[in-house]
Amino acid sequence: MGEARLRIQLRGIVQGVGFRPFVHRLAEERQLGGWVLNSSAGLVTEVEGSRATLESFVEAVRHDPPPLAWIQEMQVSEVAALGETAFVIRQSLASTGEFALISPDVATCADCVADFTGAANRRYGYAFTNCTNCGPRYTIIRDIPYDRPKTTMAAFRMCPACQAEYEDPRDRRFHAQPNACADCGPSLSAAVEEARRRLASGEVLAIKGLGGFHLACDARNQEAVERLRARKRRSDKPFAVMVRDLAAAAALCHVSEAEQEALSSTRSPIVILRRIEPVALPHAIAPGNRTLGVMLPYTPLHHLLFVDAPYDALVMTSGNLSEEPIVVDNVEARQRLSQTADWFLTHDRDIYMRTDDSVVRVFEGRERVMRRSRGYAPQTLDLGREVPELLACGGELKNAFCLTKGRHAILSQHIGDLENYETLEFFEETLRNLKKLFRVEPRAVAHDLHPQYLSTKYALERTGLPAVGVQHHHAHIASCMAEHSLSGEVIGVAFDGTGYGTDGAIWGGEFLVASYAGFTRRAHLRYVPLAGGDAAVRENWRAALGYLTDTFGADASIDGVAEERVRVVRRMIATGLNTVPTSSCGRLFDAVSAIVGLRREVTFEGQAAIELEMIAQSDEPGRYDFAIEGDGPWQVDFRPLVVEILRDPAAAPVKAAKFHNTLAEATAEVCLRIARETALRRVCLSGGTFQNMRLLGTTAAALRRNELEVYLHARVPPNDGGIALGQAAIAAAAGNINF
Judged by the rule CB under 5 A, the positions of this chain that interact with Fe ion are 496, 720
Residue number with CB closer to Fe ion (126 or 500): 500
Residues 473 and 512 sit within 8 Å (Cβ to Cβ) = yes
In the complex, the smallest distance separating the C-beta of residue 60 from Fe ion, rounded to whole angstroms, is 46
Q: Spell out, one character per residue from 61 to 100, where the chain touches Zn ion: x when CB under 5 A holds, - when not.
A: ----------------------------------------
If one asks whether residue 159 binds Zn ion (CB under 5 A), the answer comes out as yes
In the complex, the smallest distance separating the C-beta of residue 506 from Fe ion, rounded to whole angstroms, is 11
Q: Which of 109, 241, 545, 666 is in the footprint of Zn ion by CB under 5 A?
A: 109
In the complex, the smallest distance separating the C-beta of residue 372 from Fe ion, rounded to whole angstroms, is 15
Residues 446 and 731 sit within 8 Å (Cβ to Cβ) = yes
Options 10-18, 154-162, 280-288, 436-444: segment touching Zn ion (CB under 5 A): 154-162
User: In the range 489-518, which residues lie near Zn ion by CB under 5 A?
Assistant: none
**Residues touching Zn ion: how many (CB under 5 A)?**
10
Options 139-147, 161-169, 225-233, 688-696: segment touching Zn ion (CB under 5 A): 161-169
> Binding partner of residue 602 among Zn ion, Fe ion, none, CB under 5 to 8 Å per kind?
none
Residues 424 and 432 sit within 8 Å (Cβ to Cβ) = no
At residue 323, φ and ψ (nearest 5 deg) are -105, 15
Q: Spell out, one character per residue from 110 to 149, where the chain touches Zn ion: x when CB under 5 A holds, - when not.
A: --x------------------x-xx---------------
DSSP class of residue 461 equals I
The DSSP element (H or E) to which 672 belongs, if any, is: helix 652-678
Q: How many helices, marked H, and strands, marked E, lie in the chain?
A: 22, 29
620, 625, 630, 634: CA torsion to nearest 10: -10
Residue number with CB closer to Fe ion (367 or 720): 720
Residues 507 and 584 sit within 8 Å (Cβ to Cβ) = yes
> Binding partner of residue 159 among Fe ion, Zn ion, none, CB under 5 to 8 Å per kind?
Zn ion
Residues 188 and 300 sit within 8 Å (Cβ to Cβ) = no
In the complex, the smallest distance separating the C-beta of residue 713 from Fe ion, rounded to whole angstroms, is 12
If one asks whether residue 162 binds Zn ion (CB under 5 A), the answer comes out as yes
> Binding partner of residue 720 among Fe ion, Zn ion, none, CB under 5 to 8 Å per kind?
Fe ion
In the complex, the smallest distance separating the C-beta of residue 21 from Zn ion, rounded to whole angstroms, is 13
Task: Please tell me the distance from the alpha carbon of residue 3 to that of residue 551, in angstroms, as a whole number.
Answer: 84
At residue 677, φ and ψ (nearest 5 deg) are -75, -30
Collapsed DSSP state (helix, strand, coil) of residue 61: helix
At residue 508, φ and ψ (nearest 5 deg) are 165, 5
Collapsed DSSP state (helix, strand, coil) of residue 544: helix
Task: Please tell me the distance from the alpha carbon of residue 613 to that of residue 618, in angstroms, as a whole number.
Answer: 10
- How much helix, strand and coil, in percent to the nearest 5, is found in the chain? 35, 25, 40
> Binding partner of residue 134 among Fe ion, Zn ion, none, CB under 5 to 8 Å per kind?
Zn ion
Collapsed DSSP state (helix, strand, coil) of residue 97: coil
CA 549 to chain centre: 38
N-term to C-term CA, the chain: 53
Residue number with CB closer to Fe ion (356 or 720): 720
Residues 23 and 10 sit within 8 Å (Cβ to Cβ) = no
In the complex, the smallest distance separating the C-beta of residue 130 from Zn ion, rounded to whole angstroms, is 6
Residue number with CB closer to Fe ion (105 or 720): 720
DSSP class of residue 633 equals S
DSSP class of residue 439 equals T
In the complex, the smallest distance separating the C-beta of residue 663 from Fe ion, rounded to whole angstroms, is 17
In the complex, the smallest distance separating the C-beta of residue 696 from Fe ion, rounded to whole angstroms, is 15
Q: Spell out, one character per residue from 178 to 217, where the chain touches Zn ion: x when CB under 5 A holds, - when not.
A: ---x-xx---------------------------------
Question: Which residue in the shown chain puts its C-beta closest to Fe ion?
Answer: 496
The DSSP element (H or E) to which 523 belongs, if any, is: strand 519-525
Task: Please tell me the distance from the alpha carbon of residue 373 to that of residue 326, in angstroms, as a whole number.
Answer: 12
Task: Please tell me the distance from the alpha carbon of residue 706 to that of residue 508, in angstroms, as a whole number.
Answer: 24
In the complex, the smallest distance separating the C-beta of residue 194 from Zn ion, rounded to whole angstroms, is 24
> Binding partner of residue 181 among Fe ion, Zn ion, none, CB under 5 to 8 Å per kind?
Zn ion
Residue number with CB closer to Fe ion (496 or 539): 496
> Binding partner of residue 183 among Fe ion, Zn ion, none, CB under 5 to 8 Å per kind?
Zn ion
In the complex, the smallest distance separating the C-beta of residue 356 from Fe ion, rounded to whole angstroms, is 19
Residue number with CB closer to Zn ion (131 or 253): 131
Task: Please tell me the distance from the alpha carbon of residue 232 to that of residue 592, in angstroms, as a whole number.
Answer: 30
List contacts with Zn ion (CB under 5 A): 109, 112, 131, 133-134, 159, 162, 181, 183-184
